[in-house]
Amino acid sequence: MRETIWCKKLFDTSIQAGKLALSMQKDIINEGKDIIREDKEDDMHYAMRQAKTKADVMVQDMLLKAMMDDRDILTLDVEEESDLVACFPCQDERYTLVIDPIDGTLQYLNQSDTYSICSAILHQQDILTAVVYFPKRDTLYCYEPQYGARFFMNASQCDFQDGKVIDAQHALVKRIYKNDRVKEEIWKVMEAAGYEIIDDRTCCCPDALLACMRKEAIAYLSDTRNIRDILVGAILS
- 169 pLDDT more than 70: no
From residue 232, alpha-carbon distances to 48, 60, 184 in Å are: 20, 19, 25
On whether the CB atoms of residues 176 and 196 are closer than 8 A, the answer is yes
Residue 65 neighbours by CB distance under 10 Å: 13
The secondary structure of residue 144, as a DSSP letter, is: E
pLDDT digits (tens, 9 = 90+) for 77-103: 998 889 999 999 998 889 999 999 999
Higher pLDDT, 183 or 237: 183
3-state secondary structure of 4: helix
Q: What is the pLDDT of residue 232?
A: 83
Q: What is the pLDDT of residue 96?
A: 96
Strands ordered across the beta sheet of 175-178:
196-199, 175-178, 219-221
Q: What is the mean pLDDT of residues 16-24?
A: 95
Lowest mean pLDDT among 38-52, 144-158, 180-194, 203-217: 38-52
Domains (range + CATH), the chain: 2-166 (3.30.540.10), 167-237 (no CATH)
On whether the CB atoms of residues 192 and 171 are closer than 8 A, the answer is no
